[in-house]
């Protein structure tokens, strides 16, 4: 029997998206299904909600056999410190890491005092296979998609990592997610995080993989070009179960790279939601070409209150850096903004600052045009993830967080880029006004 900790170590987040944190809870729930696992604890310490004393107590009291550390571009600064705590306070534990950064730059992690690194495939499979090996008394067994440390050094994976079909996914247990901490990070909309302030968000992971294949995106490299998507029944059943377990949810965030990629699926979901008188408002992310006027109208009628799209740039000089399907022109975007306004949906545009081929003037014009249409703009810095190298220091890797420039840049140009990322924001969301507050729970009668 074994005890496992799945953890996101404490750090100060540069950006926060609750959807990026769901893999932690999906891994934990997946491990709970495995024979021989006695207990799995899930601790998300990446939302300014855990201090090192708390973490030390968790490690010391937990007496874990396996610790699975989640990694990300924005969370490497505290990585080594966490490992020192783990080795000191849980000396018998095997430690494996998984996440977006080890999928993109696995060699970077071979310098740390780890026992295994998940480098490809679905993270549940990599962590699960390693847990099985530890339970079998074979922690040095070579595995698919996982590098394992032996007495002689690091082994190579035996094959690419395995992937799961949607009916094999283990969706998060909402009872262990620190929603209060997430809400504090979302409360100030001028940060341009993805959540809706002052409302409780239920994240529902619905799809993995994306065929669009943007060069600056990691989704297709980590999850593949083939989309895998939950069935509509499974999505609605999960929402119902989550609301029963935690009645305070006020809106749903459908977490998928391109929500409307499968249009028949989207239409079916909307039709089913229209049949529910108590449906929650919801938001999603997709691309401009995967929307049309009828689809937007249907989504609005079914409760959608925000659609986020990867606008990236309206500067045609930068279109060469985009897949053909992502090259959006002003008239097309203006039409989309009008459709959303008519449907009562807030349009949120992701704008790529510093995209190759674009100019500061072109970026400023893109932002100004979007704002002239009353569109919420969320700027992000172009980050060449393909430039990540195993030899980079932790400080160098930590710059790949879409907030800081990764290459030497003339000061004047850097100032123009940073003015979009860190400058003041006057256009704040009002979408929370269209989301009713959840009813306060009725206190149980006092016993007599």
Q: How confident is the model at residue 448 (pLDDT cuts 50, 70, 90)?
A: very low
What is the spatial distance between Cα 27 and Cα 338, in angstroms, rounded to a whole number? 41
Supply 72's token pair.
């990300």
Same-domain pairing of 223 and 138? no
Contact 197, 186 (CB under 8 A): yes
We report the CATH number of the domain holding residue 18 as: 3.40.50.2300
Beta bridge partners of 70: 98
**Which of these three, 102, 130, 154, is where a domain ends?**
154
Q: Report pLDDT for 171.
A: 97
SS3 69: strand
What is the spatial distance between Cα 68 and Cα 57, in angstroms, rounded to a whole number? 17
Same-domain pairing of 203 and 91? no
Q: Which domain holds residue 95?
A: 2-154
> pLDDT tens for residues 386-414?
999 999 999 999 999 899 999 999 999 99
We report the CATH number of the domain holding residue 342 as: 3.80.30.20
Q: Report pLDDT for 443.
A: 54
317 in a structural domain = yes
Same-domain pairing of 146 and 198? no
> pLDDT tens for residues 164-177?
999 999 999 999 99
Kindly report the pTM of this predicted structure: 0.95
**Which of these three, 100, 129, 154, is where a domain ends?**
154
Residue with tokens 């408002």: 281
Same-domain pairing of 241 and 92? no
Give how far the C-alpha of residue 58 lies from the chain's centroid of Cα atoms, to the nearest Å: 25
What is the spatial distance between Cα 142 and Cα 150, in angstroms, rounded to a whole number? 9
Q: Report pLDDT for 78.
A: 87
441 in a structural domain = no
Structural domain count, the chain = 2
Same-domain pairing of 193 and 150? no
User: Is a pLDDT exceeding 80 seen at residue 440?
Assistant: no
Same-domain pairing of 109 and 208? no
Same-domain pairing of 121 and 247? no
């Amino acid at each position: 029997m074994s005890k496992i900790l799945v953890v996101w170590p404490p750090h100060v987040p540069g950006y926060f998206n609750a959807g990026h944190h769901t893999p932690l809870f999906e891994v934990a729930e997946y491990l709970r299904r495995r024979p021989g696992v006695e207990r799995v604890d899930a601790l998300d310490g990446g939302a300014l909600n855990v201090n090192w004393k708390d973490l030390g107590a968790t490690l010391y009291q937990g007496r874990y056999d396996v610790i699975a550390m989640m990694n990300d571009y924005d969370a490497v600064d505290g990585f080594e410190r966490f490992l020192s705590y783990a080795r000191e306070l849980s000396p018998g534990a095997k430690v494996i890491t998984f996440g977006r950064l080890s999928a993109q730059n696995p060699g970077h992690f071979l310098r740390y005092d780890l026992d295994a690194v998940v480098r490809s495939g679905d993270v549940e499979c990599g962590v699960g296979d390693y847990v099985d090996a530890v339970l079998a008394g074979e922690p040095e067994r070579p595995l698919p998609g996982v590098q394992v440390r032996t007495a002689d050094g690091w082994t190579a994976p035996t094959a690419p990592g395995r992937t799961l079909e949607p009916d094999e996914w283990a969706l998060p247990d909402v009872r262990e997610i620190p929603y209060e901490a997430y809400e504090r990070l979302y409360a100030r909309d001028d940060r341009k995080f993805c959540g809706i302030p002052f409302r409780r968000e239920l994240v529902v992971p619905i799809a993995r993989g994306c065929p669009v294949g943007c060069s600056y995106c990691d989704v297709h490299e980590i999850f593949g070009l083939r989309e895998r998507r939950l069935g509509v029944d499974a999505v609605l059943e999960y929402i119902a179960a989550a609301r029963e377990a935690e009645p305070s949810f006020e809106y749903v965030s459908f977490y998928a790279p391109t929500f409307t990629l499968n249009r028949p699926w989207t239409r079916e979901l909307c039709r089913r939601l229209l049949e529910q008188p108590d449906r929650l408002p919801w938001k999603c992310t997709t691309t401009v070409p995967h929307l049309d006027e009828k689809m937007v109208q249907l989504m609005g009628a079914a409760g959608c209150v925000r659609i986020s799209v990867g606008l990236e740039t309206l500067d045609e000089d930068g279109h060469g850096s985009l897949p053909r399907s992502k090259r959006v022109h002003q008239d097309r975007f203006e039409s989309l903004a009008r459709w959303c306004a008519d449907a009562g949906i807030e349009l949120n545009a992701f704008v790529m600052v510093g995209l190759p081929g674009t100019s500061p003037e072109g970026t400023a014009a893109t932002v100004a045009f979007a704002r002239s249409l009353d569109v919420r703009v969320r700027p992000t810095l172009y980050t060449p993830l393909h430039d990540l190298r195993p030899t980079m220091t932790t400080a160098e890797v930590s710059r790949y967080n879409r907030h800081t420039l990764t290459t030497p840049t003339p000061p004047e140009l850097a100032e123009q880029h940073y003015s979009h990322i860190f400058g003041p924001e006057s256009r704040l969301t009002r979408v929370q006004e269209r989301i009713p507050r959840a009813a306060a729970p009725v206190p149980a009668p006092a016993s007599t």
